[in-house]
Structure 1
């Protein structure tokens, strides 16, 4: 094949070259052996070029053609055997199988490309990790990937030509866990108390006082994003701190993790929270040594105050979605999985999508319903008719995809469910505190079973080791009772799984296409100092065990949990490799590097594997003919830069559904 001209045209490639190991076959997720790691843990450039094939070279006199099932079986071929060194050779197309599949496709379209990108490094992230020089886009799809000359031949007089000048192209990055709708609203309408906007209690007080002066009479001061791990005092903000500057209007400041917040005394009074108020089920009212509320409310206790805050209307919801979509595009991002929405948010999404303003793909998970088990089953049945199969409301932009549940709390609030006591200040022990389940585990298991039995995809928030064990055990028990392959149940965050949980997740993925971690790599960075202090030195080394996933043949889909951490996925790509906290309060490497992975694997966790958890792996997540043209153009090559440069990459251009939706000024 070397020296031959081959063009992988739209619809011509079929499924032979696009082997998805997570759909069956090999337990090795991807063959990356042809890119050797250098001494910095980066992948070296492949020495073998990306080839293309013209459909006109394929004979069409084959008597029989493989049908859809046969073509998918071809896509599930086992990888080649390992050689004497234990490495697997670069996977090549089998000419006969390739020709058989191509011969059954449509002829090469005669229409010229709408867009060509030339003279760069097109990192396809396909099953063979190929890198090309150029690509062509026709309509919403990638039309071809190949050499400059071959792609240039597809251009016409009206084709837009972009000279990449050596820049890199990857699939558009996606986020497996982003509170997209609420995060967009927070970005527009909530006081931002994140680092480095505030770095001390005094700066928090100044920001809150300034916001109060800008508001009308009786309006709440609403803020978000503070983190005691980034404050000079390394402690919670308290009601007494807020009372000093704003005693005459209610204040509610949500922590960056969203699992706890602080109210001033007026807000506590309005909610009727006193020393005699009991902790609600699944929540904690923080108290001082005399039993008086400090203002800090954790988990379900937040609702005592937050339910009093006036909600935003449809206009604000739509504005938030549009604003965050634009911000995503400016960071080379083209999709995400929004967990836990309700009907009003869904309608806001529909409005934005129908107006043509949704420039990202959203896979929405519905909130789990409260009520009796019969009510939950009825809700599950109604969702099943709405969300199966996982179809878009239009052009695969907006998908109703299942349900989100919670079993535990937060690593910041020390409410996640553990087997051993939480730490405090890294080495001190928070004696007697092992967190707790956010609701009765048996009741939650019954509710999960209702969704599973209805054939719904479910992702469960599970941070602590005991919580993760509960979740994967629930998956296994549900599958034993109602065997259903392909629901792809997710383990949201999956911070510190036990070895037993790791083994069971690997088994569930292999046998049932279920048990996929949906972690947030930026937890070790953005909230890494708080996390290191709370998990302690031993558990910190186990946090986000990506190498352990990889060694077991697992895949995982990474996200930001925005607005818990910043949403740009380049930060997460870096954090999966570096595992370094923001400030280094407890040292520069409290998480170690044993669980680090290489850059290519990290990129897959923000592209290919997110697409899998959005049920879109045949449509996005790699750069291949026939898939949607969701593309990211970067100022540098993520596979060759130094580790520290990954988080500093600049998005030069974003293509979504074949349209250029972002271009950097002066880029």
Structure 2
């Protein structure tokens, strides 16, 4: 982290929300050597120490923590076709964008896109290989669905990957075929890996430079701590890549969660890789229990609306969960499992119900997304100390798919945050960026607005009974996210913590809740130093 700590600074005249329940509000704080030395009201301050910074009566929050995201995917998305409104509203638009890319394409280079959602396309269906072939037949193309659990490729990509109509579905995956047995080009869950593994990889240096640039963008959104929930050991080790990014200027405190498939043959990690005080560290092992609601690969019960036989895809087993948990315990890190549907969530809770966790400084097991927990699952998760890390932007941005796949009433019961909190479950908010159908998927204020209003971007009702208040939503992006990610000395503006905080251009605690997504970060501070100014 290339931040030079000033010795002493006093910040005055702020409307500070600290996220510290013992002292929730303050106007003044003294920062010494990057940490908060004193915080309170100006009347109680005997004298101003060091440089004086006037916060001009603006709202101040702790730096935001995105507890579940994919920074490298997000960084690379900026060089790919954004298959979201307003750029792409139809398959015809997508074909046009691909053709535009072909004109500037280097010989043999893959064309990539992200973010399509058939619910938003005017044709009302997903693109197929025949659509992509129409755009370009001789250049390999891969377009990821918004959820990132499904991809569509053209015939050239299928050919390069060696996928034919006789290729069997891989475990935990599905190769779509039409009624005649012809490949449609749509690859679900583990099937998309058949193509991903043959694609040319960027160098460690190239990826590190992209991450460093992304870090500045994330600071503009007030995000001072990040996670990577798809970290790999090969072909590039993500720990080394992020450490190089930090040398190039990535300032965020960062926790990596490695895919179990990459660790299962060599599960033991060196202690210096998991040290919590490190700017970049390994924090957990990641598995997938199912897919996505919007892509109809979540492992649900009852089945998807209008498809009596489609319960989604189960992508792990009890045996794999237990093996990964053993490795997580040996390394003193978390077990982190993606689960959206009822059956996927219950598999995890049934596997670990009643077992004691191995970590003393946070939850040992996290369920990521937790879109559709049953009331019984919520109670049993609370009893077992399992945390939920969820993304309120999903139902906000993907409402068409939720209504179509689940129906109106079932959609309104998804992401039941109040029920989780009332049961005593530790919950954190996050974005899962770029894995959602929104042009700026990492924007925390869109997620907060969704959780507070329970209205989608188009005004559709996503479940008024599941609303929370603004302060709770902020806490889930700060204090609660810290407790779950276990990043030390952040998440609250309290004595002894890092002076990581943000200054907003509007008071998020006073404006109308339907305006929350218009809030902008005016300034971002790390260790008391200004690292972003709008």
| TM-score band w.r.t. shorter chain | over 0.9
Q: Mean Cα displacement is larger for which, 229-238 or 643-652?
A: 229-238
Correspondence 1:462 to 2:339: yes
Correspondence 1:392 to 2:281: no
- Where does residue 73 of structure 1 map in the other structure? none
- Where does residue 22 of structure 2 map in the other structure? 128
After TM superposition, give the deviation of residue 557 of structure 1 in Å. Answer: 0.9
Q: Secondary structure at the match of 1:217?
A: coil
Matched-pair contact (CA < 8 Å) for 2:257–2:286: yes
Correspondence 1:530 to 2:392: no
Correspondence 1:633 to 2:521: no
- Where does residue 368 of structure 2 map in the other structure? 492
- Where does residue 524 of structure 2 map in the other structure? 654
After TM superposition, give the deviation of residue 190 of structure 1 in Å. Answer: 2.1
After TM superposition, give the deviation of residue 444 of structure 1 in Å. Answer: 3.7
Separation (CA, whole Å) in 1 of partners of 2:511 and 2:189:
41
- Where does residue 547 of structure 1 map in the other structure? 418
Correspondence 1:368 to 2:253: no
1:419 maps to which of 290, 301, 306: 301
Separation (CA, whole Å) in 2 of partners of 1:291 and 1:391:
51
Matched-pair contact (CA < 8 Å) for 2:324–2:335: no
After TM superposition, give the deviation of residue 340 of structure 1 in Å. Answer: 2.6
How do 1:131-170 and structure 2 match up within 5 A?
Answer: 131-150=25-44, 153-156=47-50, 159-162=51-54, 164-170=55-61
Q: Secondary structure at the match of 1:538?
A: helix
Q: Mean Cα displacement is larger for which, 401-410 or 177-186?
A: 177-186
After TM superposition, give the deviation of residue 339 of structure 1 in Å. Answer: 1.2
After TM superposition, give the deviation of residue 387 of structure 1 in Å. Answer: 4.8
From the superposition, tell whether residues 471 and 170 of structure 1 become closer, same or farther in structure 2 (CA, over 3 Å).
same
Correspondence 1:181 to 2:67: no
Separation (CA, whole Å) in 1 of partners of 2:128 and 2:159:
15
Matched-pair contact (CA < 8 Å) for 1:168–1:637: yes
Separation (CA, whole Å) in 2 of partners of 1:275 and 1:112:
64
Q: Secondary structure at the match of 1:525?
A: helix
Deviations 1:587-612 (A, max 9, x none): x10x2110111111100100111111
Separation (CA, whole Å) in 2 of partners of 1:633 and 1:446:
44
From the superposition, tell whether residues 200 and 128 of structure 1 become closer, same or farther in structure 2 (CA, over 3 Å).
same
Give the greater-gyration-radius structure (CA): 1
After TM superposition, give the deviation of residue 385 of structure 1 in Å. Answer: 4.0
Separation (CA, whole Å) in 2 of partners of 1:456 and 1:263:
36
- Where does residue 269 of structure 2 map in the other structure? 383
Separation (CA, whole Å) in 2 of partners of 1:334 and 1:601:
19
Separation (CA, whole Å) in 2 of partners of 1:300 and 1:385:
31
Matched-pair contact (CA < 8 Å) for 1:182–1:320: no
Matched-pair contact (CA < 8 Å) for 1:387–1:402: no
Correspondence 1:569 to 2:444: yes
How do 1:95-494 and structure 2 match up within 5 A?
Answer: 114-128=8-22, 130-150=24-44, 153-156=47-50, 159-162=51-54, 164-187=55-78, 189-343=79-233, 344-355=237-248, 357-369=249-261, 376=264, 379-380=266-267, 382-383=268-269, 385-387=271-273, 390-393=275-278, 397-423=279-305, 429-452=306-329, 455-476=332-353, 478-479=355-356, 485=360, 486-494=362-370
Separation (CA, whole Å) in 2 of partners of 1:239 and 1:430:
24
From the superposition, tell whether residues 539 and 152 of structure 1 become closer, same or farther in structure 2 (CA, over 3 Å).
farther
After TM superposition, give the deviation of residue 275 of structure 1 in Å. Answer: 2.5
After TM superposition, give the deviation of residue 149 of structure 1 in Å. Answer: 4.9
Q: Secondary structure at the match of 1:459?
A: strand
Matched-pair contact (CA < 8 Å) for 2:524–2:532: yes
Give the total of aligned pairs: 522
Greater relative contact order (CA < 8 Å, ≥ 6 in sequence): 2
From the superposition, tell whether residues 151 and 224 of structure 1 become closer, same or farther in structure 2 (CA, over 3 Å).
farther
1:592 maps to which of 463, 488, 492: 463
Matched-pair contact (CA < 8 Å) for 1:171–1:621: yes
After TM superposition, give the deviation of residue 300 of structure 1 in Å. Answer: 0.7
Q: Mean Cα displacement is larger for which, 252-261 or 484-493?
A: 484-493
After TM superposition, give the deviation of residue 575 of structure 1 in Å. Answer: 1.2
Deviations 1:61-84 (A, max 9, x none): xxxxxxxxxxxxxxxxxxxxxxxx
Structure 2 residue ranges without an equivalent (≥5): none
Matched-pair contact (CA < 8 Å) for 1:415–1:435: yes
Matched-pair contact (CA < 8 Å) for 1:556–1:609: yes
- Where does residue 103 of structure 1 map in the other structure? none
Matched-pair contact (CA < 8 Å) for 1:282–1:439: yes
Separation (CA, whole Å) in 2 of partners of 1:302 and 1:631:
40
After TM superposition, give the deviation of residue 160 of structure 1 in Å. Answer: 4.3
Separation (CA, whole Å) in 2 of partners of 1:532 and 1:184:
30
Matched-pair contact (CA < 8 Å) for 1:635–1:650: yes
Deviations 1:480-526 (A, max 9, x none): xx8665553101001100111100122123xxxxx000001111112
Separation (CA, whole Å) in 2 of partners of 1:160 and 1:358:
27
Q: Mean Cα displacement is larger for which, 535-544 or 309-318?
A: 535-544
Separation (CA, whole Å) in 2 of partners of 1:112 and 1:182:
34
Separation (CA, whole Å) in 2 of partners of 1:129 and 1:531:
40
After TM superposition, give the deviation of residue 363 of structure 1 in Å. Answer: 1.0
2:477 maps to which of 606, 619, 624: 606
After TM superposition, give the deviation of residue 155 of structure 1 in Å. Answer: 3.2
Separation (CA, whole Å) in 1 of partners of 2:123 and 2:363:
46
Q: What's the TM-score once normalised by structure 1's chain length?
A: 0.75
1:517 maps to which of 388, 394, 404: 388
Q: Secondary structure at the match of 1:348?
A: helix
After TM superposition, give the deviation of residue 338 of structure 1 in Å. Answer: 1.4
Matched-pair contact (CA < 8 Å) for 1:174–1:569: no
Separation (CA, whole Å) in 1 of partners of 2:201 and 2:402:
31
Separation (CA, whole Å) in 1 of partners of 2:23 and 2:32:
23
After TM superposition, give the deviation of residue 570 of structure 1 in Å. Answer: 1.2
Q: What's the TM-score once normalised by structure 2's chain length?
A: 0.92
Separation (CA, whole Å) in 1 of partners of 2:442 and 2:46:
35
Q: Secondary structure at the match of 1:430?
A: coil
Matched-pair contact (CA < 8 Å) for 2:285–2:324: no
